[in-house]
Structure 1
Amino acid sequence: MVENLQPKETVRAWVDAFNAVDVTRIANLYAEDATFHDMTQSIVSGRDAIRKMYANEFATFQIFCIVDEIKGDGHWVTLDWKDPNGVQGCGYFEVKNGEITHQRAYWDKASFLMFHTTPSLTN
């Protein structure tokens, strides 16, 4: 947890940790019992499981988040983003006491994989 951060600041810190490929820093932004629901995958529950998920994703893909907009009201924050290839997505974060308690992610997985698939994944 990063103390004294407002919800939008927590999401900005998430983007910074994500782009730095810093698994520890990004995981520490989540509450111990947080849930992450990427609409293209199964729900991941708990900070440790979320840490492992990011470690796997960062080891598998070179990914970067370019912020289009961060907006929010109260403890809900929306992140509209794209990657350097133009793949777009959005994340919905519930942030309480400076920690992400729930995240939902929507993005075009088919377009993403088109740019990031290696020959070994297509055989």
Structure 2
Amino acid sequence: MTLEAHRCPNDHLTHPGHPHCPECAEPQKETIDLTDRTAEIVTWTTSTATPPGVRQPNHLAIVEFMVSGKTVRTIGQLTTGDVEIGDEVRPVHVNELRDPEAGIREAASQDWGGYRFEPV
């Protein structure tokens, strides 16, 4: 599983991907692997009232990746609450972002893995 940004013919970057660019409506033409890149924390928060199966407290951040002089932002869980705005983070794959048994969907019906962001 990779963490991917998507680029349209007009060089707009988005995450997550869309069939058509949200900025110009052109079809997305390529993906950029963000898995081995670092990002900067733009803002972050801690949620103590989380959905079923999500860890408490749940540290979340909006992070910004730089790709060929352009930026793309995404939101995700942090591995720790010991961070500050401007800190550099890297994506770390985890098998379960939430407990599959605590959700309302069948555990086998979706992929529970994803990425958290860890300070560099």
Range of TM-score over shorter length: under 0.3
Higher relative contact order (CA 8 A, sep 6+): 1
Q: What is the TM-score when the length of structure 2 is the normalising length? A: 0.27
Q: Which has the higher helix share?
A: 1
Q: Which has the higher strand share?
A: 2
Larger gyration radius, structure 1 or structure 2: 2
